[in-house]
Amino acid sequence: MIVKKILAAVFSAALAAGTVSGIMNTAVHRVCRACKGAAAGGKGVVMEQAKKDFNKEAAQWDENPGRVRLANDIAEAMIRETAPSPDMDVLDFGCGTGLVTLRLQPFVRSILGADSSEGMLRVLQGKIAEKGIVNVNTQIVDFEKGDRVAGAFHLIVSSMTLHHVPDPAALFRQWRDLLLPAGRICFADLDTEDGSFHSDNTGVFHEGFDRVHLKRLLQDAGFSSIRDTTAAAVKREGGREYPVFLILARK
């Protein structure tokens, strides 16, 4: 019914513009958006089909001071809220160049950095080699292609990755399967925004998230003791602030 209404509205608008191609292009755009919204619970989904090529940005990724500051703020919040310990094996899902991974590394027994970008992991591997770190490993994992992380973990963390995942509910189920009994997850991402946070929205499937909606998805995936807090806020020119949440849950 929703799709029919969208098609009817698009058809009328395109007729007014006088182009059949306009009908088809606009219809495909809006119907795909509606379908994506339905699949993800209709919360903050945007129409971006292309996957972002993080390999191209890997070498310069850490040169953005705002990005490094945000990663540090999120890592500090994770450490404060999870109290990592030397007997813990941790997964950093969507680890990128390891900005959060290496902040957690001194506190835990082992940490696996998983990411879909070989370029990002090469940067992290260079840091590991340079510093002689022995308790951090890396793994290429493309969740969208059906890849699964190898291992079992006491804690899974993730920072600013979820908005690049089309189906968060499916990821939550995979995370739960990867946790040891009573294991925990702790992830950070943007509160609902208007799409202006990223200068390029390629590969961005969600314009932030509604915390209540995410907690409901986590509950449906079998998690308990679900809670949230604010980890940081990204400040931009003109005084605009984008809050970043931290959500924690237990298997």
Q: What is the pLDDT of residues 110-130, one digit of tens each?
A: 999 999 999 999 999 999 999
Question: Are residues 214 and 117 part of one domain?
Answer: yes
Phi (first) and psi of residue 129, to 5 degrees? -65, -45
How many independent structural domains does the chain possess? Answer: 2
| Cβ neighbours for 65, distance < 8 A, ≥ 6 positions apart | none
Question: Are residues 103 and 25 part of one domain?
Answer: no
**Residue 45, in any domain of the structure:** no
Question: Are residues 224 and 108 part of one domain?
Answer: yes
Question: Are residues 208 and 88 part of one domain?
Answer: yes
Between CA 212 and CA 202 the distance in angstroms is: 26
**Residue 35, in any domain of the structure:** yes
For the entire predicted model, the pTM comes to 0.79
**Residue 8, in any domain of the structure:** yes
Q: How confident is the model at residue 53 (pLDDT cuts 50, 70, 90)?
A: low
Cβ contact 111:101 at 8 Å: yes
Domain with 137, as residue range(s), is 52-250
Question: Are residues 77 and 20 part of one domain?
Answer: no
**Residue 226, in any domain of the structure:** yes
Question: Are residues 121 and 73 part of one domain?
Answer: yes
Q: How confident is the model at residue 24 (pLDDT cuts 50, 70, 90)?
A: very low
User: Which residues sit opposite 190 in a β-bridge?
Assistant: 244
Question: Are residues 58 and 26 part of one domain?
Answer: no
